[in-house]
């Protein structure tokens, strides 16, 4: 059978089944199953909680290679040897033709396996180890590991030009194929979203992790309050910095201006503010920006990572990253000129429709697989 018509046995591996990386895998797996491929997922059993359990239970009946959970810690530790042994036995049992690792840890496990005839090894970093500066101990260590595994990879699938260029600048130029395939959203995500009756001035939707920058947004809100602009904020999400954020809000005297609504579906979160702020310190191709853009949500974001690739010609919505002052100024300007912000949101919606569809993402990934098989 020609490679162009071939149906593959595909195994996706990820450490943490959370956030955009998890959504990406679920969307890919569903799209690949729809096209007749046999698919499976390996994911860490220590993270994700009930949401990951539910999502994996929902997709499991569709996956002929099944759903499998292994305890895989985020940081390197001695237990990795046992986890890798389980991972290796499972891959041997499932006999996939396409081994697709997502994120640094799962990508490393997958590429450390002995090469088998008739298989390809695919790696999508999703930012991961690329976010650590080379000047740090972790950054130097992870870069060395990435270099060691680089040429054990048949296909690199980067979800942004930023991620590709960062990898090639900090790690090197791989011998394997290198392709960029943007993340994408479904047709239903272009439906408009009604604003909640109790919407605050600003809303944040995402994980509470340092790299996502919610703490900078709280500081920017405090600065605006100090300048006589008592804006309100909804924080929709959860994560490892939840308690620190709550303490920060209390310390800054913002308890009456900030509300936490927990982890919610992105579109529900978007409805709870007049302006979405994406304050990331680092990102590759964040789904929250694509989802909000598809829904026509008024939005401003940090000019970091792959975010400018999403905004394209509408980069006037971007502000300098990791700067409380720049973020505060951007929030104030956006709320004072909401007509311009709404028009830009509609124009961005059209751009998302043209360049960031789920169908294009699935087809692009499969095209990468097929090309890699012609090279092996």
Predicted confidence (pLDDT) per residue in 244-290, tens digit: 999 999 999 999 999 999 999 999 999 999 999 999 999 889 999 99
pLDDT category, 16, cuts 50, 70, 90?
very high
1 has pLDDT over 60 = no
Determine the Cα–Cα distance for residues 94 and 167; give it in Å rounded to an integer.
Answer: 30
**CATH superfamily entry for domain 188-355:** Glycogen Phosphorylase B; (3.40.50.2000)
Pick the CATH number of 3-184+357-375 from 1.10.620.20, 3.40.50.2000, 3.30.1540.20, 3.30.930.10: 3.40.50.2000
Packing angle of the helix pair 49-59, 19-34 (nearest 10 deg): 10
**Residue pLDDT, tens place only, 280-332:** 999 889 999 999 999 999 999 999 999 999 999 999 999 999 999 999 999 99
Determine the Cα–Cα distance for residues 272 and 92; give it in Å rounded to an integer.
Answer: 47
355 has pLDDT over 70 = yes
| Cα torsion 216, 220, 221, 226: sign | positive
Please tell me the predicted confidence (pLDDT) of residue 375.
86
Other beta carbons within 10 Å of 315 = 11
Average pLDDT estimate for 137-154: 86
Measured CA angle at 369 (ends 147, 131), to 5 deg: 35
Tokens of 157: 């699938």
Average pLDDT estimate for 6-25: 94
Mean pLDDT, the chain, whole residue set? 94
Compute φ and ψ for 201, nearest 5 degrees.
-65, -40
Determine the Cα–Cα distance for residues 250 and 340; give it in Å rounded to an integer.
Answer: 34
Long-range contacts of 223-231 (CB under 8 A, 24+ apart): 223/324, 223/325, 223/328, 224/328, 224/331, 224/332, 225/253, 225/254, 225/257, 227/328, 229/332, 230/257, 231/200, 231/201, 231/202, 231/257, 231/331, 231/335
Tokens of 143: 């870069």
Smallest CA-to-CA distance from 26 within 181, 211, 183, 206 is with: 183
Please tell me the predicted confidence (pLDDT) of residue 4.
66
Tokens of 65: 């290679």
Domain with CATH 3.40.50.2000 in the chain: 3-184+357-375, 188-355
DSSP-assigned beta bridge partners for residue 9: 38
What is the pTM assigned to this prediction? Answer: 0.88
DSSP-assigned beta bridge partners for residue 204: 235
Average pLDDT estimate for 100-109: 95
Please tell me the predicted confidence (pLDDT) of residue 133.
66
């Amino acid at each position: 059978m020609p490679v162009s018509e071939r149906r593959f046995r595909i195994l996706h591996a990820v450490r943490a089944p959370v956030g955009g990386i998890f959504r990406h895998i679920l969307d890919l797996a569903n799209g690949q199953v729809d096209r007749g491929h046999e698919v499976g997922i390996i994911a860490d059993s220590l993270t994700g909680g009930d949401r990951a359990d539910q999502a994996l239970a929902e997709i499991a009946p569709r996956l002929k290679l099944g759903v499998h959970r292994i305890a895989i810690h985020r940081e390197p530790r001695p237990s990795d040897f046992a986890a890798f042994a389980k991972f290796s036995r499972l891959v041997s049992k499932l006999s996939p033709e396409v081994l697709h690792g997502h994120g640094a840890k799962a990508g490393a496990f997958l590429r450390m396996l002995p090469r088998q005839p008739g298989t390809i090894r695919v790696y999508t970093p999703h930012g991961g180890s690329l976010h650590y500066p080379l000047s740090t101990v972790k950054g130097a260590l992870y870069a060395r590991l990435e270099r060691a595994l680089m040429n054990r990879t048949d296909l690199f699938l980067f979800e942004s030009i930023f991620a590709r260029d960062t990898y090639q600048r900090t790690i090197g130029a791989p011998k394997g194929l290198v392709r960029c395939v943007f993340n994408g959203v479904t047709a239903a995500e272009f439906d408009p979203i009604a604003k909640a009756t109790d919407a605050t001035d600003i809303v944040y939707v995402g994980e509470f992790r340092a790299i996502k920058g919610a703490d900078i947004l709280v500081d920017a809100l405090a600065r605006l309050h100090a300048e006589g602009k008592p804006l309100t904020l909804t924080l929709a999400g959860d994560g490892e910095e939840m308690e620190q954020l709550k303490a920060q809000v209390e310390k800054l005297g913002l308890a009456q201006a900030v509300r936490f609504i927990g982890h919610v579906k992105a579109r529900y979160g978007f409805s709870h503010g007049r302006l979405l702020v994406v304050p990331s310190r680092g990102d590759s191709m964040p789904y929250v920006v694509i989802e909000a853009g598809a829904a026509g949500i008024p939005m401003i974001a940090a000019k970091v990572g792959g975010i400018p690739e999403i905004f394209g010609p509408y980069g006037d919505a971007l502000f300098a990253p990791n700067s409380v002052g720049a973020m505060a100024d951007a929030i104030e300007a956006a709320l004072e000129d909401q007509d311009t912000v709404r028009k830009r949101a509609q124009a961005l919606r059209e751009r998302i429709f043209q360049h960031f569809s789920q169908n294009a993402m699935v087809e692009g990934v499969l095209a990468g697989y097929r090309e890699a098989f012609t090279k092996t």
